Amino acid sequence: MTGTGEEKRMDDLLRYGRQKTVVVTGADRGLGYELVRQYLERGDRVFAGKYRTNWHLLEGLKERWPETLDIVSLDVRSQESVRRAAELILQKTDAVDVLINNAGVWLDHDTGTILEDRIDYEAILEQIDVNALGALRVTQALIGAVLNSFDQLVVNVSSEAASMTECAKDSQFGYCMSKAALNMASCIVLNGIRKRGGAVINLHPGWMQSVIGESAKPDAPYCEPARPGEVKFYTTPEVTARGFLKILDEPERFSGHMPGFVNYRGDRMNW
Ligand SMILES: NC(=O)c1ccc[n+]([C@@H]2O[C@H](COP(=O)([O-])OP(=O)(O)OC[C@H]3O[C@@H](n4cnc5c(N)ncnc54)[C@H](OP(=O)(O)O)[C@@H]3O)[C@@H](O)[C@H]2O)c1
């Protein structure tokens, strides 16, 4: 159904009769912020991971939704920070319907090719630490609450950069390897929770205008294929988040023996 946030919320209540509890990591800005905003708008309860201390968009949301938003300090690279964040969340709820591992980094100086003597191993390690291990740390800390919920859903914000079959790059080892590792973590997590009813889905946001996607042209024809027939779209956090929410209301459409791997429009991605 289309229409206002309130209409959507009513539609959800009629369909599900309940409020979801959602955790979003890396929620200060970009896609994470927009996911938080849209879940709050339709009446769900959200725990938003705050990483950047000098960025205050989330506090604006807190003023609007004081009852349903909790802002939680969270650096996914730090085991201790993840432990403390999980403790705070678990003090307030024992069930997390949807855990969205959105926090991510793309280090633009990671451009060395195999023929050059300038592959930046520190940058590769940092991207793997945030993008792959970060999601694993948070998932492990909250998996009990996820499995205790109605939806039992782990969402990993992946990328087309993870795709082996579509890989055309000769650099960006760190980002591509980190997202491929994230996809593999999704498979292993799913194997671990399937029998308990848990599900995992990997979502590709599209080429999205944000800090990470800054090279998406500001005047790009958003939501149009980059080239005719191409499953690569210029998009915005607002449009992508709307697509994600729709997918995450019916994740069983995309999951099976393996986790789903789909873009924000619901097109299946190649592994
Ligand atoms: N934009 C695209 O075109 C695109 C394409 C494919 C996949 N993605 C993925 O989509 C997700 C969202 O990215 P975005 O485009 O919205 O970029 P973004 O605006 O940079 O958002 C990423 C968020 O993660 C936070 N973060 C970074 N390191 C963190 C850490 N150690 N712990 C917790 N949070 C941390 C960032 O904080 P700071 O801003 O302070 O660093 C930021 O708030 C990422 O996983 C990204 O890889 C994006």
Give the three-class secondary structure for 260.
strand
58 lines ligand 1 (CB under 6 A): no
Phi, psi of 243 (to 5 degrees): -65, -40
Instruction: Render pLDDT for 204-217 as a digit per residue (tens, 0 to 9).
Output: 999 887 777 665 55
The end-to-end CA distance of the chain, in Å, is 31
Could you give the CA distance from residue 35 to residue 238 in angstroms, rounded to a whole number? Answer: 8
Check if 74 has its Cβ closer than 6 Å to any atom of ligand 1: yes
Nearest atom in ligand 1 to the alpha carbon of residue 27 is 43
For the chain, list the domains and their CATH numbers.
19-263 (3.40.50.720)
For all residues of the chain together, what is the average pLDDT? 89
- What was the pLDDT predicted at 226? 52
Q: Which atom number of ligand 1 is nearest to the Cα of residue 237?
A: 16
Q: Which tops the pLDDT comparison, 197 or 3?
A: 197
Q: Give pLDDT tens digits for 87-104.
A: 999 999 999 999 999 999
- With a 6 Å cutoff on the Cβ, whether 26 touches ligand 1 is yes
51 lines ligand 1 (CB under 6 A): yes
- Please tell me the distance from the alpha carbon of residue 26 to that of residue 57, in angstroms, as a whole number: 12
* pLDDT grade for 156, boundaries at 50, 70 and 90: very high
Report how far apart, in Å, the C-alpha atoms of 215 and of each of 102, 145, 212, 220 are: 19, 37, 8, 10
d(CA 156, CA 178): 12
Q: Which residues of 196-217 are buried (b: 16+ CB within 10 A; e: fewer)?
A: eebbbbbbbbbbbbbebbeebe
Whether residue 224 has pLDDT greater than 60: no
